[in-house]
Structure 1
Amino acid sequence: MYDLVVVGAGPYGLSIAAHAAAAGLRLRVLGRPMASWRDHMPTGMFLKSEPWSSNLSDPTGDRTLSAYCASRGLPAEHGSPMSIGTFTDYGMWFAEQAVPEVEERTVTAVRPRGAGFLVGTREGESIPARTVALAVGVMPLVHVPRTLMGLPPDLASHSSHHNDLSRFKGRHVTVIGAGQAALETAALLSEEGATAQVVARAGRIAWNSTPQPLHRSLARSLRDPHCGLGTGWPSWVFAETPWAVRRLPAAARVRIASTALGPAGAWWLRERVESGVPVVLGHRLRTAAARGDGVRLEFTTADGSRRTVETEHVIAATGFTTDLARLQMLDPGLRAGLRRVAGGRGPQLNGRFESSHRGLFFAGLLAAPSFGPAMRFVYGAGFTAPHLVGGVRRRVGGPPRRR
């Protein structure tokens, strides 16, 4: 029986695996390495976070994004956006360097068995484990407005469903949303030769400001501190003290996880959008229906009137939902019995990311209602991995095994 099975091989899964391997735990790591980044983000996208705040976590702290870039003569500079391709390559390198083995298997079932679990895969294997860490990323949690759900995939999709936007060349595409995914997707569509527009219910587009220099006067640093999620004291608290966020009342945590660091475009994207993409604000989607080879969208405007938009394809850049019900791999009885954070649909976790079911741990977005918005970003892996693996070691007991 394995001490730990890690389900997922993105930044959180790989970071957990690196710490577990260093602790001598007997583990399996199942999933396609960096799958969301490799398969669900279009060529040409950039990281929104700074390179120094985009590290995966290993116990030595040596396998940073900067170290990877330095070894290959690539820039990793504060205030200079980094391509998703470079970050993806870094994640693959991290997996090779810090994780004993990542098995590209698809987990289809996690069931209780005795004092542990049985993890089933699409490939037909049943793996006994004392503990399981679910680091499944965001793809099981894709949120598409109910209005669009009845449309076929050739007419409507989610922004995470595309790694190549060139197929939309010469077509009219409407992107729904007001955050980075919507704005960057629309800019890339326009640059690929599509006629793209953004339609959002928000009354304005929020744009992040240009990053402040890392080295500033003490007074400026105290007034507006840097952190892994940007600058300012609220962001600093969310980024650097997730343990403190967890001590807040449940209702406050749910609100913070869903609203803090809300939709906004990166500073370096603004000119590309404003120079080439029409943005329509204050429009709430009411209905969507297939019409010939396209879609007819009906919106309610800010003044209460209605507006109809005809488009050939609609992309919902509407984010992800923190909802345990989306994890169909979890045994239904196990899933139903998990305690939720009051007022939310995410699992209630202790200080070491363990759920109410002994030995079952969660990482990433599903941990946000417990630990705050840092869990929505790569930066949160640095806090999650050592604390979660500490919880696993407590649960399995005994001295660590040496490989």
Structure 2
Amino acid sequence: MTESGTRLTDFVNGSRPRGGDSPDLEVAVIGAGPHGLSAAVHLRRTGVAVQVFGAPMSFWRGMPQGMRLRSNMSATNMIEPVGPFSLASYMAEIGEEFGHPVSLRRFIDYGSWVQRNAVPDVDTRRVSCVSRDGRGFALELEDGEIFTARRVVVACGIAAFENLPGGFDHLPPDLVSHTGHHDDLSRFAGQRVAVVGGGQSAFESAVLMNERGAEVELIARGSEFVWLRSWSPIHFMGRLGKIVYAPTDVGPLWYSRLVATPAVFTRLPRETQDRIAQRAIRPACSYFVKVRVDGVSLTKATQVTRAEAAGSGLELTLSDGTTRTVDHLMFGTGYKVNVGRYPFLSQGVLDDLKVEDGYPVLRKGFESSVPSLHFLGAPAARSFGPIMRFVSGSWYGGSRLAQAVARQKQ
């Protein structure tokens, strides 16, 4: 085991005492959310030793209170759709049943239960740097302690990828923010807020603020809003519905099974993959948010082209020539993957990492161009399809990663 307080520069420069040729860890997983926990569970089932780093469910804990998950019940399962860590097992243990839509609080409680029962030894410290070492990788933690690992799995989600349009960087964060910055939207009570975006996060944040006493206008560049229905044709198809529509709940009926099977999906031409992926993740608003949207002013086919501080608020100029005076401008514009924005990846690792459009290029087993460095979750979406952006993608990602690592050990 390494000495607490040893610095990465000492390690890389060779001044750190080395304790033999074997790394401290077989596999280090960075991230303790659905994808990281799934990786750990599946790896341990194959006999691979794993250490998970990171605060469990940290991304979800930072999301707005009162939020509810859009995914159906089957797609909200972690690790696998059926088994000891399923939602059904969780409800049986707590002696309580609940249905769709699952509240954020319920989901965090469920994820915490999965972590306590499946991976109780999570090291909650943050990994501050990952660099390459002769024995694999060196990981420096937030307190300076160093671990070496033969293999690293990056499963730390999308928090680093907030998509904020350019042109607003000159404004202070108390006036301009991203929906991902707020876990308590009641702070906007009594304020005038403009929300930019046309997807679930924009609509739900707008509704939650309105319900807490804010005056909210949602501004979207699209000419039409996409409203998801409370029902689907599969509800009338009986057992056939479960056959034609995958439990992963990603994509429309005619794409669902294809998207849920990355081994098939990734054989399609790149252009076709991109078109299907775009359809599967298009901005849309769930039915349970739509029924609460009446108090929010909706503006379509319009963009905020300019924003300037005016007194204690902002003066906005829109593409239709009109103006707005607001107390806060919030962007519900989602996340754009760019692994170069992960602050812990050293420049040496990034230099050797093959990337396309911000995504690492991954081969079988979710392994990158840097040997023994793997990526799960949204960064794997370009190589394995849009399913990887969702909780249900952890079923495939964790199991296929474990299979590949186990084969390499043999």
Shorter-chain TM-score above 0.5: yes
Counterpart residue identity of residue 312, structure 2? D
Flag the 1:255–1:249 CA change in 2: closer, same or farther, 3 A. same
Counterpart residue identity of residue 336, structure 1? D
Determine which of 300, 315, 324 is the counterpart of 2:330.
315
1:51 and 2:64 matched: no
Flag the 1:33–1:42 CA change in 2: closer, same or farther, 3 A. same
- 2:213 aligned partner: 193
User: Which residues in structure 2 correspond to 1:19-34 (within 5 Å)?
Assistant: 19-34=42-57
CA shift for structure 1 position 381: 0.4
CA contact (8 A) 1:11 1:381 kept: yes
Flag the 1:43–1:218 CA change in 2: closer, same or farther, 3 A. closer
- 2:96 aligned partner: 74
| Distance in 2 separating the partners of 1:20 and 1:393 | 8
1:171 and 2:184 matched: no
Flag the 1:393–1:59 CA change in 2: closer, same or farther, 3 A. farther
Give SS of 2:406's match: helix
Further displaced range: 60-69 or 207-216: 207-216
CA contact (8 A) 2:74 2:81 kept: no
- 2:136 aligned partner: 116
1:379 and 2:400 matched: no
Give SS of 1:378's match: coil
CA shift for structure 1 position 391: 2.3
CA contact (8 A) 1:131 1:359 kept: yes
Flag the 1:309–1:215 CA change in 2: closer, same or farther, 3 A. closer
User: Which residues in structure 2 correspond to 1:75-224 (within 5 Å)?
Assistant: 75-77=97-99, 80-212=100-232, 216-217=236-237, 221=241
1:302-361 Cα shifts (integer Å, max 9, x gaps): xxxx222211001111100111221221111221221224xx220111121110111000
1:329 and 2:325 matched: no
| Distance in 2 separating the partners of 1:218 and 1:27 | 41
1:25-77 Cα shifts (integer Å, max 9, x gaps): 22211001000111x21111111001221111169822101221232233333
Flag the 1:34–1:263 CA change in 2: closer, same or farther, 3 A. same
CA contact (8 A) 2:43 2:402 kept: yes
- 2:298 aligned partner: 279
| Distance in 1 separating the partners of 2:49 and 2:81 | 17
Flag the 1:262–1:213 CA change in 2: closer, same or farther, 3 A. closer
CA shift for structure 1 position 127: 0.9
| Distance in 2 separating the partners of 1:84 and 1:60 | 21
CA shift for structure 1 position 197: 1.2
Flag the 1:13–1:114 CA change in 2: closer, same or farther, 3 A. same
- 1:36 aligned partner: 59
CA shift for structure 1 position 392: 2.4
CA contact (8 A) 1:363 1:384 kept: yes
- 2:285 aligned partner: 265
User: Which residues in structure 2 correspond to 1:235-314 (within 5 Å)?
Assistant: 235-238=256-259, 240-273=260-293, 275-301=294-320, 306-314=321-329
Flag the 1:287–1:368 CA change in 2: closer, same or farther, 3 A. same
| Distance in 2 separating the partners of 1:72 and 1:118 | 40
Counterpart residue identity of residue 324, structure 1? V
Flag the 1:189–1:3 CA change in 2: closer, same or farther, 3 A. same
Give SS of 1:183's match: helix
CA shift for structure 1 position 120: 1.1
CA contact (8 A) 2:29 2:51 kept: yes
| Distance in 1 separating the partners of 2:400 and 2:102 | 29
| Distance in 2 separating the partners of 1:373 and 1:359 | 23
| Distance in 1 separating the partners of 2:190 and 2:200 | 23
CA contact (8 A) 1:5 1:129 kept: yes
Give SS of 1:233's match: coil
Give SS of 2:164's match: coil
Count of residue pairs the alignment pairs up: 386
| Distance in 1 separating the partners of 2:307 and 2:374 | 39
1:252-294 Cα shifts (integer Å, max 9, x gaps): 4445445532000011111101x21111011122122211111
CA shift for structure 1 position 214: 6.2
Counterpart residue identity of residue 351, structure 1? K
| Distance in 2 separating the partners of 1:296 and 1:327 | 33
| Distance in 2 separating the partners of 1:59 and 1:223 | 15
Further displaced range: 145-154 or 243-252: 243-252
Flag the 1:58–1:50 CA change in 2: closer, same or farther, 3 A. closer
CA shift for structure 1 position 246: 2.1
Flag the 1:216–1:388 CA change in 2: closer, same or farther, 3 A. same
RMSD of Structure 2 on Structure 1 (CA): 2.1
Counterpart residue identity of residue 380, structure 2? A
CA contact (8 A) 1:287 1:297 kept: yes
Amino-acid identity (%): 36
| Distance in 2 separating the partners of 1:214 and 1:260 | 17
CA shift for structure 1 position 224: 6.0
Flag the 1:228–1:204 CA change in 2: closer, same or farther, 3 A. same
Flag the 1:92–1:207 CA change in 2: closer, same or farther, 3 A. same
Counterpart residue identity of residue 389, structure 1? A
CA contact (8 A) 1:51 1:76 kept: no
CA contact (8 A) 1:245 1:370 kept: no
Q: What's the TM-score, normalizing by structure 1?
A: 0.90
